[in-house]
């Protein structure tokens, strides 16, 4: 909510504004939560004027109700399910990455989080021919690997075309990340750039490395920044109907996803990756859905066994 300014409505004149300010009312927010009769006494502005201002302010800042059927039909037309490039994870996620949702992948070091992001990148850019924006906080983006994955699928001639559909940003702190997200929103509402009008997937790899430096200690607003980031990511996903994919670390011996309880409410779907050795001693990866808002409990318990291999077409291919 913004400050009360002269010119917001006809009743809000210079004198009224000053009077309200004298009474300690500066923002629309403060104005709305105050009792009108109380305000009349404190500021000396007439009851009629205050009611008029109140009506305008409420109308300006309220959201409109939507009929459930409308929401449903618009959902049917706007929701897209993007393939992740790994069939077994697709089944685990009920088809793949949903637009309008925030999907998080958590796991230990070298478990394949970034590889999973690359895989999604390639399948969205190459198979569905949509744009991908990659926000990289830990400098691990490697275009060569993307090209390798595409080449391994025998689509060598598509490499250049697919890679132009992927854009990359190096982000070094939380403020830069927030700025980028704001910029993406601006571009999306402008709809002038061809890239942004076909943008379907935004990847942030990895959220923990920009949030760790501001959490705890003297940074009193670290938690505030964290929830702010969560809010912004959700707005991007839900309001602009984009699939947002983020990666996260694990804390304490790999049992818990890091960033705590507050953050655990942010992603719609959470996928947990872990590595182990199979009977033949080869390293394999397990994927497990630990949070989901559209699957029943029985399904979330399911685990997919995947393997990371550079030589096979998929970076994460099915083992069993």
Partner 1 sequence: MQNSRELNSFPIAPIHKTKLSGAGFLIVEDLKDIKPSELSKETGIDLEESLEIITLVLGGDGDQKASKPTVSALDILHLENASPYIITFSEQVDSMLGGGVPLRKVTEFCGSPGIGKTQMCMQLAVDVQIPEAFGGMGGEAVYIDTEGSFIIERLVDIAKATVQHCHNIASENQEPDMLKVMGQFTMESVLSRIHYFRCHDYVELLSNVHLLPKFLKEHPTVKLVVVDSVAFHFRHDFDDMSLRTRLLTSMAQSFIQLATDSSLAVVLTNQMTTKVQQGESSRLIPALGESWGHASTIRVILYWEGKQRWAWLYKSPSQREAVVPYQITTGGIRDVVSSKLESDEEGEAPAKRQRTS
Q: Of 268 and 307, which has the nearer Cβ to partner 1? A: 307
Name the β-bridge partners of 202: 133, 244
Instruction: Tell me the H-state helices in 94-173.
Output: 113-122, 143-152, 159-164
* Residues 10-49 within binding reach of partner 1 (CB under 8 A): 26-27
The kind and range of the H/E element at 204 are: strand 199-205
Token code pair at residue 170: 């190096």
When binding is defined by CB under 8 A, the residue of 84, 114, 123, 241 that contacts partner 1 is: 114
The Cα–Cα gap between 301 and 304 comes to 10
- CB 77, min distance to partner 1, A: 27
Site stretch for partner 1 (CB under 8 A), options 33-41, 59-67, 211-219, 288-296:
211-219
Residue 98 or 314 having the CB closest to partner 1: 314
Site for partner 1 in 167-206 (CB under 8 A): 167-170, 172-173, 175, 178-179, 182-183, 186, 189-190, 195, 206
267-306: which residues touch partner 1 (CB under 8 A)?
283
Interface with partner 1 (CB under 8 A), residue total 74
CB of 11 to partner 1, least distance (A): 18
* Among residues 258, 264, 300, 303, the one that binds partner 1 under rule CB under 8 A: 258
How big is the CA angle at 167 (ends 112 and 160), to the nearest 5 degrees? 90
40, 50 in Cβ contact below 8 A?
Answer: yes
Determine the interface stretch with partner 1 among 42-50, 55-63, 89-97, 220-228 (rule: CB under 8 A).
Answer: 220-228
Q: H helices within 245-296, ranges in order?
A: 260-264
User: Residue with structure tokens 């999973």?
Assistant: 116
Q: According to CB under 8 A, which residues from 71 to 110 bind partner 1?
A: 108-110
């Amino acid at each position: 909510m913004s400050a009360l300014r002269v010119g917001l409505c006809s009743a809000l004149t210079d004198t009224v504004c000053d009077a309200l300010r004298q009474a300690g009312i500066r923002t629309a927010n403060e104005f709305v939560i105050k009792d009108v009769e109380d305000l009349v006494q404190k500021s000396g502005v007439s009851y009629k004027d205050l009611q008029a201002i109140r009506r305008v302010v409420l109308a300006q800042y309220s959201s409109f109700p939507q009929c459930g059927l409308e929401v449903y039909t618009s959902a049917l037309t706007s929701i897209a399910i993007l393939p992740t490039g790994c069939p077994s994870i697709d089944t685990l996620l009920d088809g793949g990455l949903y637009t309008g949702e925030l999907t998080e992948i958590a796991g230990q070091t070298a478990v394949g989080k970034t590889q999973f992001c690359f895989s999604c990148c390639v399948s969205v850019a190459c198979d569905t021919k949509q744009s991908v924006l990659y926000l990289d906080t830990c400098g691990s983006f490697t275009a060569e690997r993307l090209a390798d994955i595409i080449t391994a699928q025998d689509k060598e001639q598509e490499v250049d075309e697919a890679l132009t559909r992927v854009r990359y940003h190096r982000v070094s702190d939380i403020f830069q990340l927030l700025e980028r997200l704001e910029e993406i929103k601006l571009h999306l509402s402008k709809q002038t750039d061809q890239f942004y009008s076909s943008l379907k997937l935004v990847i942030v790899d990895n959220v923990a490395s920009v949030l760790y430096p501001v959490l705890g200690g003297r940074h009193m607003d670290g938690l505030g920044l964290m929830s702010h980031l969560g809010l912004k990511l959700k707005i991007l996903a839900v309001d602009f109907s984009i699939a947002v994919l983020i990666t996260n670390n694990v804390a304490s011996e790999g049992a818990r996803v890091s960033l705590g309880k507050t953050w655990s409410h942010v992603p719609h779907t959470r996928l947990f990756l872990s590595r182990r050795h199979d009977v033949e001693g080869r390293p394999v990866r397990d994927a497990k859905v630990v949070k989901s808002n559209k699957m029943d409990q029985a399904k979330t318990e399911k685990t997919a066994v995947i393997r990371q291999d550079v030589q096979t077409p998929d970076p994460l291919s099915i083992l069993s």
